[in-house]
Amino acid sequence: MTSIKDIARVAGVSTATVSYALNGGSGVSAETRVRIQKLAKEMNYTPYLSARILVSQSSQLVCALVDSYQTDANNDLLQILEEQFQSAGYQMLTTSQIMPELQQSDLFSGMIVLDLGLTNAKRDKIMSLNRPTIFLAGAETEETISLMTDNVGGMRLAYTEMRRSVHHKLCIISGRPDSFNNWQRVDALRTIMNREQPDFDFDQHIYPAKFSSWEGYHLGLKLVDHYDAFLCLNDAMALGIYRAAFEHGLMVGKDISVIGFDNSLVDEYVLPGLTTIGFDRRHWAEMVVATYLRLARGEAISPRHQLITAELIERGSVRKG
């Protein structure tokens, strides 16, 4: 990696002169400034982020807080968010844990908070930093701004689709109990089923798999002989059921029905394709970045809480009569 010392050696000047020329300082002629800037470009010099922040007295770095990289849905959204922020002149850094020393410094201009299993204390700590912040899960308060997926609408679509199946021995595969998305999806499904199937003992037929395909697979090995309809609260767990069914000589879409949630990229490539609940992630990311830019300019945001519409993605994993 090219350093200021390397440029200074090639240019035949001091490192201080190079620094002044690149950072807009006085004390160098216009001719020297142009020559050094040209050399820096030719030598692929990239200034350290901390140096750029010190020079500009501001940070164009956004922190994305997540609690897990396990879910493909998070990773897909993060990639699109990063692209959108770059187009707006920002860089985005993702961290999987709260790091007070880093976040309370001047390094970040603001935050995007994904499904952190937020407690009130965590939320208040984030808000106390007093920077532009958007929550993508679990923070609908008067003080916060959120752009969240419509989990309730998504579960209604998933339940309705499974009711169309010829398979009726229903099993629910849930995620991490500390996840807001998991909590909201479970609560929505419980409410729907209490109304539509009051004789169904919900708690006897729900099994946690922590949003993990591995956990879903091991659960599936025990459950595919007892259930024929699997409603999974994310796609990774649904794909774990696929693997367990295969090892039991069962075919998804024929012998059992499976529905996922989140519409991960791999869903359309498995056989049969996974029926799931999806959200337009590009539209979501565009809304997040546009809202963030308005916050950064000090504009008022109304409405403060918005939902991203859910849609049913029908493929071949649900057998219908």
- Does residue 270 or residue 177 have the better pLDDT? 270
Give residues with Cβ within 8 angstroms of 279, minimum separation 6.
Answer: 149, 150, 154, 262, 263, 308, 309, 310, 311
Say if residue 234 is exposed, middle or buried (CB neighbours under 10 Å; 0-12, 13-18, 19+).
Answer: buried
| Of 81-85, 199-203, 308-312, the least confident | 81-85
CATH entry, 152-278, from 3.40.50.1820, 2.30.31.70, 3.20.20.70, 3.40.50.2300: 3.40.50.2300
Residue 74 pLDDT > 80 = no
What is the identity of the amino acid at 227? Y
pLDDT band at 254 (very low <50, low <70, confident <90, very high): very high
Q: What is the pLDDT of residue 158?
A: 98
- What kind and span of H or E run contains 229? strand 229-232
Q: Could you tell me if 223 and 248 are in contact, meaning their C-beta atoms sit under 8 angstroms apart?
A: no
Q: Kindly state which CATH superfamily the domain 4-47 is placed in.
A: lambda repressor-like DNA-binding domains (1.10.260.40)
Domain boundaries, the chain: 4-47, 61-150+281-311, 152-278
- pLDDT by residue (tens digit) across 31-71? 888 888 888 888 887 665 555 544 444 558 898 888 765 56
Q: Report pTM.
A: 0.79
Please state, in angstroms and rounded to a whole number, the distance separating the CA atoms of residues 279 and 258.
19
Residue 22 pLDDT > 60 = yes
CATH topology of domain 61-150+281-311: Rossmann fold (3.40.50)
Please state, in angstroms and rounded to a whole number, the distance separating the CA atoms of residues 45 and 2.
5
- DSSP 8-class letter at 12: T
pLDDT band at 13 (very low <50, low <70, confident <90, very high): confident
